[in-house]
Protein backbone atom coordinates (compact mmCIF):
# COMPACT_ATOMS: atom_id res chain seq x y z
CA UNK A 1 0.00 0.00 0.00
CA UNK A 2 1.39 3.41 -0.98
CA UNK A 3 1.84 6.21 1.56
CA UNK A 4 -0.80 8.25 -0.28
CA UNK A 5 -3.37 5.45 -0.06
CA UNK A 6 -2.54 4.83 3.59
CA UNK A 7 -2.88 8.51 4.52
CA UNK A 8 -6.25 8.90 2.82
CA UNK A 9 -7.66 5.63 4.18
CA UNK A 10 -6.49 6.54 7.68
CA UNK A 11 -8.15 9.93 7.44
CA UNK A 12 -11.40 8.41 6.20
CA UNK A 13 -11.38 5.83 8.99
CA UNK A 14 -10.88 8.40 11.73
CA UNK A 15 -13.47 10.73 10.21
CA UNK A 16 -16.03 7.94 10.42
CA UNK A 17 -15.37 7.12 14.06
CA UNK A 18 -14.63 10.65 15.31
CA UNK A 19 -17.84 12.33 14.17
CA UNK A 20 -21.55 11.62 13.99
CA UNK A 21 -22.06 14.31 11.38
CA UNK A 22 -23.91 13.32 8.23
CA UNK A 23 -21.40 13.00 5.37
CA UNK A 24 -21.70 15.22 2.33
CA UNK A 25 -23.47 13.68 -0.67
CA UNK A 26 -23.05 14.05 -4.40
CA UNK A 27 -26.00 16.47 -4.34
CA UNK A 28 -24.40 18.63 -1.65
CA UNK A 29 -20.62 18.66 -1.43
CA UNK A 30 -20.62 20.95 1.60
CA UNK A 31 -21.30 20.46 5.31
CA UNK A 32 -20.68 22.50 8.44
CA UNK A 33 -17.14 22.53 9.78
CA UNK A 34 -17.04 19.78 12.40
CA UNK A 35 -15.60 16.56 11.10
CA UNK A 36 -12.45 17.36 9.14
CA UNK A 37 -10.28 16.99 12.23
CA UNK A 38 -8.50 13.70 12.78
CA UNK A 39 -6.53 13.28 16.01
CA UNK A 40 -3.88 16.02 15.90
CA UNK A 41 -4.17 16.97 12.23
CA UNK A 42 -6.72 17.96 9.61
CA UNK A 43 -7.09 17.80 5.84
CA UNK A 44 -7.21 21.11 3.97
CA UNK A 45 -8.28 21.67 0.34
CA UNK A 46 -6.48 24.58 -1.33
CA UNK A 47 -7.55 26.01 -4.68
CA UNK A 48 -6.06 29.54 -4.76
CA UNK A 49 -2.70 30.96 -3.71
CA UNK A 50 -2.24 28.14 -1.19
CA UNK A 51 -1.80 25.74 -4.09
CA UNK A 52 1.82 26.87 -3.98
CA UNK A 53 3.69 25.07 -1.21
CA UNK A 54 6.01 28.00 -0.50
CA UNK A 55 3.05 30.35 -0.10
CA UNK A 56 1.14 28.07 2.28
CA UNK A 57 4.18 27.21 4.37
CA UNK A 58 5.03 30.88 4.99
CA UNK A 59 2.54 30.86 7.87
CA UNK A 60 1.66 27.15 8.06
CA UNK A 61 4.92 25.15 8.11
CA UNK A 62 3.26 21.83 8.98
CA UNK A 63 1.49 21.56 5.60
CA UNK A 64 2.35 18.33 3.77
CA UNK A 65 1.15 17.46 0.27
CA UNK A 66 -1.21 14.48 0.19
CA UNK A 67 -2.79 14.46 -3.27
CA UNK A 68 -4.63 16.51 -5.85
CA UNK A 69 -8.39 16.40 -6.07
CA UNK A 70 -11.52 18.07 -7.39
CA UNK A 71 -14.65 19.66 -5.97
CA UNK A 72 -17.70 18.94 -8.11
CA UNK A 73 -20.39 21.45 -9.05
CA UNK A 74 -18.28 24.47 -8.10
CA UNK A 75 -16.30 27.07 -10.03
CA UNK A 76 -13.33 29.21 -9.04
CA UNK A 77 -13.97 32.96 -9.09
CA UNK A 78 -11.84 36.00 -8.33
CA UNK A 79 -13.05 38.98 -6.37
CA UNK A 80 -13.30 40.60 -2.97
CA UNK A 81 -15.64 40.72 0.01
CA UNK A 82 -16.47 44.41 0.05
CA UNK A 83 -18.25 46.38 -2.66
CA UNK A 84 -16.04 49.36 -1.85
CA UNK A 85 -12.91 47.34 -2.75
CA UNK A 86 -10.20 49.69 -4.03
CA UNK A 87 -7.23 47.43 -4.82
CA UNK A 88 -5.54 48.16 -1.50
CA UNK A 89 -5.53 44.59 -0.21
CA UNK A 90 -2.24 42.72 0.10
CA UNK A 91 -2.61 41.16 -3.36
CA UNK A 92 -3.80 44.40 -5.03
CA UNK A 93 -6.66 42.70 -6.81
CA UNK A 94 -9.34 40.06 -6.55
CA UNK A 95 -8.53 36.78 -4.83
CA UNK A 96 -9.94 33.29 -5.25
CA UNK A 97 -13.12 31.82 -3.88
CA UNK A 98 -15.46 28.98 -4.80
CA UNK A 99 -19.06 29.35 -5.91
CA UNK A 100 -21.65 26.69 -6.61
CA UNK A 101 -21.98 26.02 -10.34
CA UNK A 102 -23.69 22.88 -11.64
CA UNK A 103 -21.44 20.80 -13.88
CA UNK A 104 -18.24 22.75 -13.16
CA UNK A 105 -15.20 21.49 -11.25
CA UNK A 106 -12.59 23.17 -9.08
CA UNK A 107 -9.22 21.42 -8.93
CA UNK A 108 -6.86 21.80 -6.03
CA UNK A 109 -4.52 20.20 -3.52
CA UNK A 110 -5.28 18.23 -0.36
CA UNK A 111 -2.81 19.19 2.36
CA UNK A 112 -2.35 17.44 5.70
CA UNK A 113 -1.82 20.01 8.46
CA UNK A 114 -1.22 19.97 12.21
CA UNK A 115 -4.01 21.39 14.36
CA UNK A 116 -1.42 23.84 15.68
CA UNK A 117 -1.62 25.65 12.34
CA UNK A 118 -5.40 26.02 12.36
CA UNK A 119 -5.24 29.46 13.98
CA UNK A 120 -2.63 30.71 11.52
CA UNK A 121 -4.58 29.33 8.54
CA UNK A 122 -7.81 30.95 9.73
CA UNK A 123 -5.95 34.22 10.24
CA UNK A 124 -4.45 34.03 6.74
CA UNK A 125 -7.94 33.54 5.32
CA UNK A 126 -9.35 36.45 7.33
CA UNK A 127 -11.91 34.38 9.21
CA UNK A 128 -11.81 36.66 12.25
CA UNK A 129 -12.72 39.75 10.22
CA UNK A 130 -15.38 38.02 8.14
CA UNK A 131 -13.42 37.76 4.88
CA UNK A 132 -13.81 33.99 4.46
CA UNK A 133 -15.83 31.32 6.25
CA UNK A 134 -14.52 27.78 6.78
CA UNK A 135 -16.56 24.83 5.60
CA UNK A 136 -16.21 21.12 4.93
CA UNK A 137 -16.17 19.85 1.34
CA UNK A 138 -16.02 16.36 -0.13
CA UNK A 139 -13.02 16.15 -2.46
CA UNK A 140 -12.74 13.49 -5.15
CA UNK A 141 -9.27 11.96 -5.48
CA UNK A 142 -7.79 8.96 -7.25
CA UNK A 143 -7.91 7.10 -3.93
CA UNK A 144 -11.51 7.99 -3.10
CA UNK A 145 -13.44 10.80 -1.42
CA UNK A 146 -11.78 12.85 1.32
CA UNK A 147 -13.54 15.30 3.62
CA UNK A 148 -11.51 18.51 3.82
CA UNK A 149 -11.62 21.94 5.37
CA UNK A 150 -11.68 24.80 2.87
CA UNK A 151 -12.77 28.43 2.79
CA UNK A 152 -15.38 30.45 0.89
CA UNK A 153 -15.49 34.23 0.61
CA UNK A 154 -18.32 36.13 2.29
CA UNK A 155 -20.26 38.85 0.45
CA UNK A 156 -18.40 38.00 -2.75
CA UNK A 157 -18.09 40.69 -5.43
CA UNK A 158 -16.32 40.08 -8.74
CA UNK A 159 -13.03 41.94 -9.27
CA UNK A 160 -10.12 41.27 -11.60
CA UNK A 161 -7.17 39.62 -9.92
CA UNK A 162 -3.63 40.99 -10.02
CA UNK A 163 -0.75 39.51 -12.06
CA UNK A 164 1.19 38.52 -8.88
CA UNK A 165 -1.79 36.63 -7.45
CA UNK A 166 -2.54 34.91 -10.74
CA UNK A 167 1.12 33.97 -11.02
CA UNK A 168 1.17 32.29 -7.61
CA UNK A 169 -2.03 30.35 -8.38
CA UNK A 170 -0.70 29.16 -11.75
CA UNK A 171 2.70 28.24 -10.33
CA UNK A 172 1.00 26.22 -7.61
CA UNK A 173 -1.21 24.45 -10.14
CA UNK A 174 1.84 23.49 -12.19
CA UNK A 175 3.91 22.58 -9.13
CA UNK A 176 1.33 20.00 -8.08
CA UNK A 177 0.41 18.66 -11.51
CA UNK A 178 -3.18 19.80 -11.85
CA UNK A 179 -4.83 18.85 -15.17
CA UNK A 180 -3.39 20.75 -18.14
CA UNK A 181 -6.77 21.98 -19.37
CA UNK A 182 -7.50 23.40 -15.92
CA UNK A 183 -4.12 25.15 -15.82
CA UNK A 184 -4.89 26.69 -19.21
CA UNK A 185 -8.15 28.07 -17.81
CA UNK A 186 -6.24 29.66 -14.94
CA UNK A 187 -3.68 31.12 -17.34
CA UNK A 188 -6.51 32.65 -19.39
CA UNK A 189 -7.85 34.66 -16.44
CA UNK A 190 -7.63 38.41 -17.14
CA UNK A 191 -5.84 40.64 -14.64
CA UNK A 192 -5.91 44.29 -13.64
CA UNK A 193 -2.33 44.91 -14.78
CA UNK A 194 -0.95 45.78 -11.33
CA UNK A 195 2.87 45.75 -11.33
CA UNK A 196 3.94 46.95 -7.87
CA UNK A 197 5.09 45.07 -4.74
CA UNK A 198 2.98 42.24 -3.30
CA UNK A 199 3.09 39.15 -1.10
CA UNK A 200 4.85 37.44 -4.00
CA UNK A 201 7.99 39.27 -2.90
CA UNK A 202 7.85 37.46 0.45
CA UNK A 203 7.85 34.00 -1.09
CA UNK A 204 11.62 33.69 -0.96
CA UNK A 205 11.66 30.10 -2.17
CA UNK A 206 10.63 31.25 -5.64
CA UNK A 207 13.50 31.65 -8.04
CA UNK A 208 14.05 35.16 -9.49
CA UNK A 209 13.23 33.80 -12.94
CA UNK A 210 9.86 32.57 -11.66
CA UNK A 211 9.03 35.89 -10.01
CA UNK A 212 9.39 37.72 -13.30
CA UNK A 213 7.77 35.09 -15.46
CA UNK A 214 4.87 36.31 -17.54
CA UNK A 215 1.62 34.37 -17.34
Catalytic annotation, residues: 125
Tell me whether residue 13 is annotated as binding: no
Q: Confirm or deny that 49 is annotated as ligand binding.
A: yes
| Burial of 12: CB neighbours in 10 Å, binned 0-12, 13-18, 19+ | middle
Q: Please report the beta strands in 6-127, taking only residues with DSSP state E, as ranges in sequence order.
A: 30-31, 37-38, 41-46, 64-80, 95-114
Does 80 show up as a binding residue in the annotation? no
Which residues make beta-bridge pairs with 38?
41
Q: Please indicate if the annotation marks 46 as binding a ligand.
A: yes
Q: Is 47 within any annotated ligand binding site?
A: yes
Burial 99-120 (b: 16+ CB within 10 A, else e): eeeeeeebbbbbbbbeeebbee
Residue ranges for the binding site?
44-49, 165
Residue ranges for the binding site for substrate?
44-49, 165
Amino acid sequence: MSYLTYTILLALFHQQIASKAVPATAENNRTSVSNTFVSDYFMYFAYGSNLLKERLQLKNPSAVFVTTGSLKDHVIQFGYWKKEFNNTNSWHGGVATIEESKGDVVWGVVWKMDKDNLISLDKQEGVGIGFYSPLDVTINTDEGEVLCRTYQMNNFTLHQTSPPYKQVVCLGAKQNGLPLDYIKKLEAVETNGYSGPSILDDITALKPADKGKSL
